[in-house]
């Protein structure tokens, strides 16, 4: 959808191992976001990026790091996975538009991560 | 922190009926957006209403915004089984990072 793909779609990993999730876009959008979705919490922002090498923390950034070395790729790393990080992870992009024009986000299909 | 709060948390109606979902928020906003999420899928942007707008239509969707009450409603008319999904509101407070603040969603079930 709108040139955004997430990989992998599903992953099971062991506690204490590092995990990297990838978000890839084909439309050269500046703003990219990583969210986690858990029952009863809606979407919570982990990290976001506003350009190559420009990233910032969101609401629930502890235990996560991100990197954006190219416009098209935004990587989310769980440095040492814990069971509390079992979740569905979504990447989103904000399409370029008029300043304060108010464009919606486009989401990837999600990655379901299970930490055992 | 959660900005938008949807009401009800769950709604079950017969096909053909209208479905209304509400969203309340806490701070001033630049715009408010509604999204749909089908089970196991990503969210899909439905409609955006700016803070200076009071009502907006898109097909069978009608969104209203009352900034004095800090609330919005999403009306789906003539519901169909394919409308079964979770619906989320999200607010854009106009910050430079275009961050959206999300509610926990309303789960809508359309019974055939």
pLDDT tens, residue by residue, A26-69: 988 999 999 999 987 789 999 999 999 999 999 999 999 999 99
Give residue A21's pLDDT: 98
> Which tokens belong to A32?
């990219």
The pLDDT score that the predictor gives to residue B6 is: 82
Please list every residue in chain B whose beta carbon sits closer than 8 Å to the beta carbon of residue A5: none
Per-residue pLDDT of chain B (112 residues; tens, 9 = 90+): 345 678 888 999 999 999 999 999 998 999 999 999 998 889 999 999 999 999 999 999 999 999 999 999 999 999 999 999 999 999 988 776 778 889 889 999 999 9
Q: Is residue A83 predicted with pLDDT exceeding 80?
A: yes
pLDDT at B1: 37
A4-115 carries CATH number 2.60.40.10: yes
Read off the CATH number of the domain in which B80 is found: 2.60.40.10
Using a CB–CB cutoff of 8 Å, tell me whether B2 touches chain A.
yes
Which positions in chain A touch B31 (Cβ < 8 Å)? 102
Residue of A42, A88, A103 for testing the chain B interface, max B β-carbons within 10 Å: A42
Per the structure, the count of domains in chain B is 1
Say if residues B13 and B28 touch (Cβ distance below 8 Å). Answer: no
Widest CA span in chain A: 45
Report the pLDDT value the prediction gives residue B69, as an integer from 0 to 100.
Answer: 95
Cβ neighbours for A86, distance < 8 A, ≥ 6 positions apart: A113, A114, A115
Give pLDDT, residue A39: 83
Percent of chain B residues topping a pLDDT of 90: 74
Give B21 to chain A, closest Cα distance, Å: 16
Q: Is the pLDDT assigned to residue A101 strictly greater than 60?
A: no
| Mean pLDDT within A14-32 | 95
- The pLDDT value recorded for residue B2 is 42
Q: Which residues of A touch B98 (CB under 8 A)?
A: 31, 94
Domain boundaries, chain A: 4-115
Quick one: closest CA in B to A39, which residue? B104
pLDDT for B104 equals 86
Q: How many CA atoms lie within 13 A of B18 on its CB side?
A: 9
pLDDT category at A103 given cuts 50, 70, 90 is confident
- Give the range of the structural domain holding residue B34, as residue numbers without chain letter: 5-93+100-111
Q: Which two tokens stand for residue A47?
A: 């990290």
* Mean pLDDT score of chain A: 91
Q: Which site among A34, A43, A68, A100 would you substitute to test the B interface, given the most B Cβ atoms closer than 10 Å to its Cβ? A: A43
Distance from CA of A63 to the nearest CA of B (A): 18
d(CA A15, CA A63): 13
Average pLDDT over residues A73-87: 97
Partner residue facing A90 (CB), from B33, B42, B94: B42
d(CA B71, CA B20): 13
Instruction: For residues A89 and A110, give the distance between their C-alpha atoms in angstroms, rounded to a whole number.
Output: 5
Question: What's the CA dihedral at B61, B63, B87, A94 to 10 degrees?
Answer: 100
The answer, yes or no, to whether residue A17 has pLDDT greater than 90, is yes
What sign results for the dihedral spanned by CA atoms A52, A93, B92, B99? Answer: negative
Q: Cβ contacts (< 8 Å) between B42 and chain A: which residues?
A: 1, 90, 107-110
């Amino acid at each position: 959808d709108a040139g955004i793909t997430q990989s992998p779609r599903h992953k099971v990993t062991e506690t204490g191992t590092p995990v990297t999730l990838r978000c890839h876009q084909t439309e050269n959008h500046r703003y990219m976001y990583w969210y986690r979705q858990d029952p009863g919490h809606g979407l919570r922002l982990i990290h976001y990026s506003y350009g190559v090498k420009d990233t910032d923390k969101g609401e629930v950034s502890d235990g996560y790091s991100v990197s954006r070395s190219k416009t098209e790729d935004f990587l989310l790393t769980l440095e040492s996975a814990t069971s509390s990080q079992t979740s569905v992870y979504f990447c989103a992009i904000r399409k370029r538009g008029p300043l304060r024009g108010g464009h919606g986000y486009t989401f990837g299909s999600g990655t379901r991560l299970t930490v055992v | 922190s959660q900005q938008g709060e949807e009401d009800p948390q769950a709604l079950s109606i017969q096909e053909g009926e209208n479905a209304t979902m509400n969203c309340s928020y806490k701070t001033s906003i630049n715009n408010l957006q509604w999204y749909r999420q089908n089970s196991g899928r990503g969210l899909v942007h439905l409609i955006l209403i700016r803070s200076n707008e009071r009502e907006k239509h898109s097909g069978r969707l009608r969104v209203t915004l009352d900034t004095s009450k800090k609330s919005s409603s999403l009306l789906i008319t003539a519901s169909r089984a394919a409308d079964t999904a979770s619906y989320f509101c999200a607010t854009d407070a106009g910050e430079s990072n275009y961050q959206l603040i999300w509610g926990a969603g309303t789960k809508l079930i359309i019974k055939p």
